[in-house]
Amino acid sequence: MMKVFNIVGARPQIIKAAAISRAIRNHFQDSVEEILIHTGQHYDHSLSSVFFDELEMPHPVYNLKVGSGSHAVQTAKIMTGMEELLQKEKPDVVIVYGGTNSTMAAALVASKMHFPVVHIEAGLRSFNKSMPEEINRITTDHVSTLLFSPTITGFKNLINEGFHPENSPTYTIDNPKIYHSGDIMYDNALYYGSLVKKKNGLLEKFGTEPEEFVLATIHRPENTDDPVKLQKLFSCLMRISEEKQHSVILPLHPRTKISLEKTLPGDFMKNMKKNSKLHIIHPVSFLEFILLEKNAKMILTDSGGVQKEAHFFEKPSIVLREQTEWTELVNNGTSCLADSDTNEILKAYEKFANGNTYRFPKFYGDGKTAEFICNELLNNF
Catalytically annotated residues: 219
Q: In this chain, which stretch among 98-106, 237-245, 260-268, 372-380 interacts with ligand UD1, using CB under 6 A?
A: 98-106
Does 279 sit near ligand UDP (CB under 6 A)? no
Query: Interface with ligand UD1 by CB under 6 A: which range of 35-43, 106-114, 307-315, 316-324?
Result: 35-43
d(CA 313, CA 188): 12
Q: Cβ closer to ligand UDP: 77 or 294?
A: 294
Report how far apart, in Å, the C-alpha atoms of 112 and of each of 40, 97, 115 are: 22, 18, 8
Residue 73: CA count within 13 A, CB half-sphere:
7
Does 141 bind ligand UDP (CB under 6 A)? Our answer is: no
- How many of the chain's residues bind ligand UD1 (CB under 6 A)? 18
Q: Does 189 bind ligand UD1 (CB under 6 A)?
A: no
Figure out which of the listed residues 9, 81, 91, 283 binds ligand UDP, where binding follows CB under 6 A: 283
Q: Which is nearer to ligand UDP, 160 or 200 (CB)?
A: 200
Q: Please list every residue from 262 through 291 that binds ligand UD1, using CB under 6 A.
A: none
- Asked whether position 143 contacts ligand UD1 by CB under 6 A, the answer is no
Query: Binding residue for ligand UDP (CB under 6 A) from 304, 316, 365, 367?
Result: 304
Residue 92 burial (CB < 10 Å; 0-12/13-18/19+)? middle
Residue 58 lies near ligand UD1 (rule: CB under 6 A) = no
Taking CB under 6 A as the criterion, the residue among 258, 270, 276, 342 binding ligand UD1 is: 258
Q: By CB under 6 A, is residue 119 in contact with ligand UDP?
A: no
What gap in Å lies between CA 344 and CA 338, rounded to an integer? 5
> Which has the closest alpha carbon to 324: 298, 346, 304, 299?
304
When binding is defined by CB under 6 A, the residue of 41, 151, 241, 247 that contacts ligand UD1 is 41
Least distance (Å) between residue 257 CB and ligand UD1 = 8
Query: CA nearest 223: which of 259, 250, 191, 252?
Result: 259
CB of 129 to ligand UD1, least distance (A): 13
CB 283 within 8 A of CB 314: no
Shortest approach of ligand UDP to residue 308 CB, angstroms? 8
- 306 binds, options ligand UD1, ligand UDP, none, Cβ within 5 to 8 A by partner type: ligand UDP
- Assess 223 for contact with ligand UDP (CB under 6 A): no
Minimum distance from CB of 256 to ligand UDP (Å)? 10
Residue 15 in contact with ligand UDP, rule: CB under 6 A: yes
Q: Which does 289 bind (CB under 5 to 8 A by kind): ligand UDP, ligand UD1, none?
A: ligand UDP
CB atoms within 10 A of CB 122: 29
Site for ligand UDP in 239-268 (CB under 6 A): 251
The nearer residue to ligand UD1, 256 or 295, going by C-beta atoms, is: 256
Provide the minimum distance between the beta carbon of 236 and ligand UD1 in the complex, in angstroms, as a whole number.
Answer: 21
Nearer to ligand UDP, 12 or 176 (CB): 12
Q: Which does 27 bind (CB under 5 to 8 A by kind): ligand UDP, ligand UD1, none?
A: none
Please return the burial class of 265, using the count of CB atoms within 10 Å of its CB with bins 0-12, 13-18 and 19+.
Answer: exposed
Of the candidates 259, 219, 256, 215, the residue with the CA atom closest to the CA atom of residue 237: 215
Taking CB under 6 A as the rule, does residue 150 contact ligand UDP?
A: no
- Site of interaction with ligand UD1 (CB under 6 A): 10-12, 41-44, 47, 68, 99-101, 132-133, 219, 254-255, 258
Residues that bind ligand UDP (CB under 6 A): 11-12, 15, 217, 219, 251, 283-284, 286, 289, 303-306, 309
